Structures are given as C-alpha cells and as structure tokens.
C-alpha cells in the first residue's frame, strides 16, 4: 500500500523520517510517496486533504481535526523554543505601553496565519488583530524599515535579532510555559481519518520506530539530512535536531497530550480557533 507523506526539509523532520522512507526499518508493507514543503505549505495542503500523512503546525491542526488525527509519534514540543515578539529598539517604550491597552492598533508581521507562533500570539494578545503575513526571514527588515510595529520571529532569527538593533518585547514561549507549566506544542504528524484505523495505528508505530532508529543511529541519515539542509553546517544541523527532536517525538505521553489539550482548550476559550468536535488522537 502506497501512501502520500509530506514533511519539511528541515533537519528535525529529515532526521525523524530517514529510516521510514529509506527502508532502514520494516515498513510492514507500506510504501511512501514523499513531498517536501515548508510547514505553511503543508498546512494548506492539509486544509485541502491532499496528503495521507503530513507534518503540520498545531494551529493548522485545529482547522483539520475533522479530517486528520494526530499521531503520538513525530511531534515537536519543547521548552525554550518558542517565538519572540520584537520591535525596533527606539520604539520599545511606546509600543510596550500601547500593547497593554485592549484596543491596540499595532501592526504585527507574522510568519503565517496557521503557524503555532501566530497561535500563541492569539492566546497571549487576542487584541492584536492587525496582522500582515510575510516570509519569516523578511520580518526583521520590515521592522527596521518601520513597515510594521511588531514582528513575530521564529527559527534562527530568534538568535540574531539583537545584532540588528531590534528589541524583545515578550518571549511567547516563556509566557506559555509560565502560564501552563507545559512544553510548547509546535508541530505534529497527522494521518488522514479516511484510512482504516489499523493503518493509522501501523503508521503511528512505524513513525515511532523511525524516530527510535534515528536516536540509536544519529549519523545514519547524515547525507539525506545534509542534502536538504542546503548550506547548514553539520554542527548547526544537529543543534537544530537537538532543539526539536526529543522524548515527545518518540511518544507524546501524558505530559505531551496535556500540553496539546491545554493549548487547544485555551485557544478555543479565547476564540482563537473554532471548537473541535473530534477526538484529537489516533485510536490506540
């Protein structure tokens, strides 16, 4: 049986799926037709139900939970990995004061409507509704050119913004952790509910085995990971992997599920996402 599988070319995803798609584990009769896309593109494909299995942000999952179920394996959750809300340094006092008002009209550059970063922004500051979607790497320049008042940054920009004279307004990851005591749910692997339950369960089992293989043989997929990471140095690739692939990626467990359930419950209460009528997870 051949299934379509979508994930990003980022090192954390290629690390997770290397063994699965290259026959390093027994796939129990399943074959995979792989598509590589950035997560926001994968989010959009999930909205259209295009893929059997896909990586997506937890924000997007809230909108496709009737069509897809979440695997216990393959997710990215963690502490200290959240998005930052930043501004131009000289504008900090003005912006910080306005941010405390219920009708703030500040313009925010976001890296995508269905990113988890925007999800967390909506939970923390539901009054910030004037948003402009842009490529995540363009947000810093937009701030410097005062095209936007605030920027929501992710990925490597979290480590470089200060060099450009930009200032942190709030660490949304820390906000979430202090509010809930939970890890930040970033992205997960979902399977289309149209597949038989036994196939969904098999996929869950195989993704877990693929992650376990990667941890047991961390250099096994180095060429595959490097090929898709483009210019990234090996040390940076593995730092990226260490940041996003952890015990939650093997199995969500009670703590991982609690983090996801808390995020969805809070976002629903604050009307950031619509109510979800389906059980979130693949049946055990």
Encode pLDDT of 71-119 as tens digits. 999 999 998 888 899 999 999 999 889 988 888 889 999 988 888 889 8
Does an H or E element contain 131, and which? strand 131-133
How many residues make up the chain in this entry?
284
Residue 59 known to be catalytic: no
Averaged pLDDT of the chain: 92
Give the pLDDT confidence score for residue 231 in this predicted structure.
64
pLDDT exceeds 90 at position 245: yes
* pTM, rounded to two decimals: 0.86
More confident residue, 276 or 214: 214
In a domain, 228, yes or no: yes
- Residue 12, C-beta contacts closer than 8 angstroms, at least 6 positions apart: 76, 240, 241, 243, 244, 245
Hey, which residues does 78 pair with through a beta bridge?
184
Please state, for a pLDDT cut of 90, what percent of the chain lies above it.
Answer: 69
| Nearest-angstrom CA–CA distance, 139 and 121 | 15
Tally Cβ neighbours within 10 Å of residue 284. 6
Instruction: Quote the number of domains for the chain.
Output: 2
In a domain, 189, yes or no: yes
115 is in an annotated binding site: no
* Residue span of the structural domain in which 261 resides: 2-77+184-269
117 is in an annotated binding site: yes
Among residues 22, 59, 155, 228, the one annotated as catalytic is 155
Crossing angle of helices 11-21 and 222-229, rounded to 10°: 140
More confident residue, 243 or 206: 206
Instruction: For residues 107 and 34, state if they share a domain.
Output: no
Domain termination site, one of 180, 198, 230: 180
| Nearest-angstrom CA–CA distance, 190 and 204 | 9
Domain termination site, one of 129, 151, 180: 180
56 is in an annotated binding site: yes
In a domain, 284, yes or no: no
pLDDT exceeds 70 at position 156: no
Give the pLDDT confidence score for residue 212 in this predicted structure.
98
255 is in an annotated binding site: no
Give the pLDDT confidence score for residue 80 in this predicted structure.
83
| Nearest-angstrom CA–CA distance, 177 and 83 | 12
The tokens for 126 are 């539901």
Give the pLDDT confidence score for residue 38 in this predicted structure.
87
Give the pLDDT confidence score for residue 74 in this predicted structure.
97
């Amino acid at each position: 049986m051949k299934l379509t599988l979508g994930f990003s070319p980022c090192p954390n995803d290629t690390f997770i799926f290397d063994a699965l798609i290259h026959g390093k584990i027994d796939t129990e009769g399943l074959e995979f037709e792989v598509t590589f896309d950035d997560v926001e593109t994968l989010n959009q494909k999930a909205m259209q139900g295009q893929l059997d299995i896909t990586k997506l942000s937890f924000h997007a999952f809230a909108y496709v939970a009737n069509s897809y179920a979440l695997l216990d394996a393959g997710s990215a959750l963690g502490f200290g990995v959240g998005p930052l809300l930043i501004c131009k340094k000289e504008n900090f006092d003005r912006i910080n004061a306005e941010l405390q008002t219920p009708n703030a009209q500040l313009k925010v550059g976001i890296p995508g409507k269905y990113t988890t970063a925007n999800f967390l922004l909506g939970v923390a500051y539901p009054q910030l509704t004037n948003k402009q979607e842009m490529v995540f790497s363009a947000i810093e320049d937009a701030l410097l050119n005062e095209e936007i008042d605030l920027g929501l940054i992710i990925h490597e920009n979290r480590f470089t913004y200060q060099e450009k004279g930009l200032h942190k307004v709030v660490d949304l990851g820390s906000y979430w952790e202090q509010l809930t005591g939970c890890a930040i749910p970033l992205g997960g692997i979902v399977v289309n509910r149209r597949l038989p339950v036994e196939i969904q369960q098999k996929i869950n089992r195989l993704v877990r085995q693929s992650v376990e293989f990667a941890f047991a043989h961390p250099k096994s997929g180095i060429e595959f990971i490097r090929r898709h990471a483009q210019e990234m140095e090996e040390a940076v690739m593995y730092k990226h992997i260490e940041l996003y692939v952890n015990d939650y990626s093997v199995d969500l467990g009670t703590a991982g599920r609690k983090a996801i359930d808390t995020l969805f419950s809070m976002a629903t209460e604050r009307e950031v996402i619509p109510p979800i009528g389906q059980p979130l997870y693949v049946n055990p």
